[in-house]
Amino acid sequence: MASVRLKELYKRFDKVVAIDGVSLDIPDGDFVVLLGPSGCGKTTTLRCIAGLESPDSGEIWIGDSIVNDLPPKDRDVAMVFQNYALYPHMKVYDNLAFPLKMRKVEKNEIDRRVKDVADLLGISHLLDRKPRQLSGGEQQRVALGRAIIRRPRVFLMDEPLSNLDAKLRLFMRAELKRLQRELKTTTVYVTHDQAEALAMADKIAVMNKGKVQQYDDPNAIYNNPANVFVATFIGSPPMNMIRAAIRQEGSNVVLDAGSFSYTLSPEYSEVLLRNLQSSEVFLGVRPERLILTVEKVPSSVFLSEVYVVEHQGANMVVDLKIDSEIIKAIAPPLPLNIGQRVWVGFDEENIHIYDGKTEKLIV
C-alpha cells in the first residue's frame, strides 16, 4: 500500500489541454474519486498515474518514489477498466491466475491466492466458466479479482460500474466500498456519477476543464461547494442559482433578483462586502432547503408558479417558475396543481452566495 501524490501535472493533446496543473495528495489507504463531466481530464489523470500516458510536466509520486519514468509494469498498480478486459478464451480461474503466472509464482501459491480471492468476491462457483457465461456483475467481480490477486500498492478504476444496470450498480457500489475497506488499499476511482462519488469516496476531486475545482470529503463537497461549477454539478437536482444585484441599506446588504429581494443579516452582509469582487452575486439554495407553502409564512421570500410536479415516492420534485427562470424544490407530497401560485422561502443559514465575477464561494 502507498500514498499517491500529484504535483502540478500538465498534459496536452495537440491544442487541447487535458490536465491543467493538477495537484493531489492521496493518503495511504484512502478511496479517492476523480469526478467530473466527460472531457474534464479525470481519465487522463488516472492514465498518467498508471503510466499509460506521460504528463508533459509535473511529478507523480507513489509512496516515496517519483514514478514518471517507470513503465506501467514497474509501478505496482492494478487498473480496472469499464469494459472488464477479460480474456474470453480463458476460464475464470485462468483469468484470475494470469497475473501471477506472468510473475512465475509457484502453482501452489497461485491455487491458494485464486481460492482466497474467489472466496472474498463470492465467485468460487464460477471458476470453471468462461466470461461469455457470466453476467455483467460476475464479469466485473472477476475483473476486480484479477486486480486484487496481484496485491498492488494502488488500485486504479476507470468507470468500472458504468456498464451495469441501475440495481446491480447500487449493489456493486456497496461491494466495492466493502472490499476497499477490507483490503485497505489506496484506490483512485474515476466516475461522472456524482451519486456514486458521494456514496463511496473518502475524498472527492471535482474536475472541470483539466483543473481540480475542489478536493474535499463528500460532506464538504455537498454542503460547501467551492464555486458555482461544483454547486451545480453536485446534487440531484443540483443547487439552484439565482443571479442578483446587491445594494446596501444601512448595515444590511439587499440581494435584488428582479422578481424578489432578500435582506441579509449584518453578519452575512459584513462577510459579503469584505470579500466581494463584483456588483453581482449568485444566490445558491439546494432544492431540499426551499420551503413551499400555499399561504405566506415568516420564512416566505417570493411567490412562484408551479410548472412541473414529479412524484418520487416519499418526496416530490417541483419545478417553479419565477418570471422566466425555473428553480427546483424537493418537498414532501403536497396537493399542488400546475399553474398554482405558491410561496417559496428559505433560511439564511441554508444559502450560499457566490461572487458574480469569480464564481467562488463568499458566504
pLDDT digits (tens, 9 = 90+) for 88-135: 999 999 999 999 999 899 999 999 999 999 998 889 999 999 999 999
Q: 259: Cβ–Cβ under 8 A, 6 or more apart, which residues?
A: 302, 322, 323, 325
Please, what is the average pLDDT of the chain?
Answer: 95
Alpha helices by DSSP H, listed for 132-239, are: 136-148, 166-183, 194-200, 218-223, 228-233
Alpha helices by DSSP H, listed for the chain, are: 42-50, 92-102, 107-121, 136-148, 166-183, 194-200, 218-223, 228-233, 266-275
CA–CA separation, 18 and 312 (whole Å): 38
For residue 21, pLDDT beyond 90:
yes
pLDDT digits (tens, 9 = 90+) for 205-218: 999 999 999 999 99
- What is the pLDDT, as a whole number, of residue 162? 85
pTM attached to this predicted model = 0.92
- What is the pLDDT, as a whole number, of residue 84? 77
CA–CA separation, 117 and 124 (whole Å): 9
Q: Determine the average pLDDT of the residues in 237-256.
A: 96
Q: Determine the average pLDDT of the residues in 266-292.
A: 96
Phi, psi of 74 (to 5 degrees): -100, 5
pLDDT digits (tens, 9 = 90+) for 35-81: 999 999 999 999 999 999 999 999 999 999 999 999 999 999 999 98
The residues that bridge with 101 in the sheet, in sequence order, are none
CA–CA separation, 49 and 34 (whole Å): 12
Which band of pLDDT confidence, cut at 50, 70 and 90, is reported for residue 154?
Answer: very high
Which domains, and CATH codes, for the chain? 4-233 (3.40.50.300), 240-355 (2.40.50.140)
Percent of the chain with pLDDT over 70: 100
- What is the pLDDT, as a whole number, of residue 199? 95
